[in-house]
């Protein structure tokens, strides 16, 4: 990774994760000078992701992805019910996230982007035809100017805060560890296990994700209930506390930000809440929107129209791609968090119906789940008894 070699770039991308790297790569390919700044010393570290994504990632990222495992199905386990869903084809991939992130950064540099690690964005000022970012690197604060700044700096985005843009509607708080697969001999290697219930992970779920020779174990919580107690309780239940060496933690932003742009500035990825509300995954949505962000940046720079009224084009493109899905998924989430454990048991029992299971396997989409969920309510009227929760979700 390079030092900051110039005091001026066409575009500064704040955040060297995969979404920032993808955005930078696409803009650099158009012949523009791009600087990516990453606050951590090493791309991809610390690890803050479960690393499971839909196979759609192969279209959005790059060839020869660092795939650790291919997932064909899984179990959803409520306090007293279990449903198993399994396909003949791969439904998801488990990535080596550190190698994946590094690979995305390499692609950005191959396209011509400069990347400076250990560099932290601390503020920005507008001055006529440019914006100037204050960047702290090696204990020294530098002033770097550009025509456009793109914030890809995660759930607690400093770029977002510097522009007084809306905060996420909600944060999930998560913890994760990794243990040898041999410590959980009953786990099927190409299946995940998802545990739901207010006693396990209130407001979200717990996961077991097999990688190559290991298993990622983690959970998220919401509603002001922090994950630590639930996490250690689950590990004790599995009987693997002695196997734990490293624990990672992080936050996931949920919601729809009303505005992800301002004068000479756009947000992308977690900074813009481009995250699936039902699973917390942000890679696929973020990479989709990285394309829109880059296309808007290139066109706006060519026409020298970088005011917020013009950059609204980017927000509109994102809404057309993922906005409707996020809105519907937020509604389903609102229903989910209103259910008690007995109701969760009943829903899992209903979803265990053979015809319904087949329908979910054939029509389910990790990235756009609401498409199948609406059809489920139409085709399986047993679920109509939960209509009061649907009504409450609208209120």
Assess whether pLDDT exceeds 50 at residue 312: yes
- C-alpha span between 250 and 221 (Å, rounded): 11
User: What is the total residue count of the chain?
Assistant: 395
Give me the residue label for tokens 């770039």: 9
| Tokens standing for residue 178 | 């990794």
What was the pLDDT predicted at 33?
A: 97
Assess whether pLDDT exceeds 80 at residue 207: yes
What was the pLDDT predicted at 82?
A: 93
Which CATH superfamily, name and number, covers 8-46+97-167+257-331? Answer: FAD/NAD(P)-binding domain (3.50.50.60)
Assess whether pLDDT exceeds 90 at residue 57: yes
> Are 287 and 21 spatial neighbours (Cβ–Cβ below 8 Å)?
no
Q: For residue 393, name the pLDDT band (cuts at 50, 70, 90).
A: very low
What was the pLDDT predicted at 68?
A: 96
Phi/psi region, residue 37 (left: phi>0; alpha: psi -120 to 50; beta: rest), is: beta
Assess whether pLDDT exceeds 60 at residue 23: yes
Domain boundaries, the chain: 8-46+97-167+257-331, 66-95+169-253, 338-394
Assess whether pLDDT exceeds 80 at residue 140: yes
Assess whether pLDDT exceeds 90 at residue 318: yes
What was the pLDDT predicted at 45?
A: 83
236-263 burial: b if 16+ Cβ within 10 Å, else e: eeeebeebeeeebebbbbbbbbebbbbe
What was the pLDDT predicted at 25?
A: 98
3-state SS, residue 327: helix
Average pLDDT over residues 96-112: 96
> Are 318 and 260 spatial neighbours (Cβ–Cβ below 8 Å)?
yes
- C-alpha span between 295 and 158 (Å, rounded): 23
- C-alpha span between 229 and 119 (Å, rounded): 34
Structure letter (DSSP) for residue 271: G
Least confident of 81-90, 196-205, 306-315: 81-90
- C-alpha span between 121 and 15 (Å, rounded): 9
The CATH class, in words, for 66-95+169-253 is: alpha beta
Q: Percentage of the chain with pLDDT > 70?
A: 92
- C-alpha span between 119 and 234 (Å, rounded): 37
Average pLDDT over residues 98-113: 96
Least confident of 70-74, 247-251, 355-359: 355-359
Q: Percentage of the chain with pLDDT > 90?
A: 74
Question: What digits encode the pLDDT tens for the residues 353-364?
Answer: 777 777 777 767
Alpha carbon of residue 32 to chain centroid: 27
Write down the mean pLDDT value for the chain: 90
Give me the residue label for tokens 């949920």: 254
Assess whether pLDDT exceeds 90 at residue 384: no
Query: End-to-end alpha-carbon separation of the chain, Å?
Result: 50
Assess whether pLDDT exceeds 90 at residue 70: yes
- C-alpha span between 166 and 267 (Å, rounded): 11
Assess whether pLDDT exceeds 80 at residue 302: yes
What was the pLDDT predicted at 245?
A: 82
Structure letter (DSSP) for residue 270: G
**Which class for 193: exposed (0-12), middle (13-18), buried (19 or more C-beta within 10 A)?**
buried
Q: For residue 258, name the pLDDT band (cuts at 50, 70, 90).
A: confident
- C-alpha span between 65 and 100 (Å, rounded): 7
What was the pLDDT predicted at 139?
A: 87
- C-alpha span between 307 and 165 (Å, rounded): 15
3-state SS, residue 267: strand
> Are 260 and 278 spatial neighbours (Cβ–Cβ below 8 Å)?
no
Give me the residue label for tokens 């090493």: 42
Q: For residue 332, name the pLDDT band (cuts at 50, 70, 90).
A: confident
């Amino acid at each position: 990774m390079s030092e900051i070699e110039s005091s001026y770039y066409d575009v500064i991308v704040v955040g060297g994760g995969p979404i920032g790297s993808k955005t930078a790569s696409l803009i650099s390919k158009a012949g523009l000078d791009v600087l990516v700044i990453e606050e951590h010393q090493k791309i991809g570290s610390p690890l803050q992701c479960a690393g499971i994504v839909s196979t759609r990632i192969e279209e959005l990222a790059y060839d020869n992805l660092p795939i650790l495992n291919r997932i064909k199905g899984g179990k959803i386990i409520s306090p007293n019910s279990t449903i198993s869903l399994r396909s003949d084809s791969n439904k998801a991939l488990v990535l080596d996230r550190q190698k994946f992130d590094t690979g995305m950064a390499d692609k950005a540099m191959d396209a011509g982007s400069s990347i400076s690690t250990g560099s932290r964005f601390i503020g920005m000022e507008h001055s006529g035809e440019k914006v100037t970012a204050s960047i702290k690197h090696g204990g020294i604060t530098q002033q770097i100017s550009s025509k456009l700044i793109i914030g890809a700096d995660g759930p607690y985005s400093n770029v977002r805060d510097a522009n007084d843009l809306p905060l996420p509607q909600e944060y999930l708080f998560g913890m994760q560890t990794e243990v040898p697969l041999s410590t959980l001999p009953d786990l099927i290697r190409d299946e995940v296990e998802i545990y739901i219930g207010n006693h396990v992970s209130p407001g979200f779920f717990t996961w077991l994700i097999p990688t190559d020779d290991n298993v990622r174990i983690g959970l998220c919580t919401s509603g002001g209930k922090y994950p630590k107690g639930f996490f250690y309780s689950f590990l004790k239940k599995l009987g693997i506390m002695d196997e734990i060496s490293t624990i990672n933690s992080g936050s996931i932003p949920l919601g729809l930000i009303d505005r992800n742009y301002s004068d000479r500035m756009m947000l992308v990825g977690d900074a813009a809440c481009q995250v699936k509300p039902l699973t917390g995954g942000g890679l696929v949505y973020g990479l989709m929107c990285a394309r829109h962000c880059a296309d808007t940046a290139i066109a706006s720079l060519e026409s020298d129209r970088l005011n917020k009224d013009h950059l609204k084009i980017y927000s509109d493109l994102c809404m057309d791609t993922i906005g409707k899905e996020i809105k519907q998924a937020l509604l389903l989430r609102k229903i989910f968090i209103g259910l008690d454990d007995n109701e969760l048991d009943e829903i899992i029992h209903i979803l265990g119906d053979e015809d319904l299971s087949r329908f979910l396997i054939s029509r389910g989409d990790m990235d756009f789940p609401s498409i199948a969920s609406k059809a489920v309510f139409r085709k399986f009227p047993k679920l109509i008894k939960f209509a009061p929760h649907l009504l409450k979700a609208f209120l």
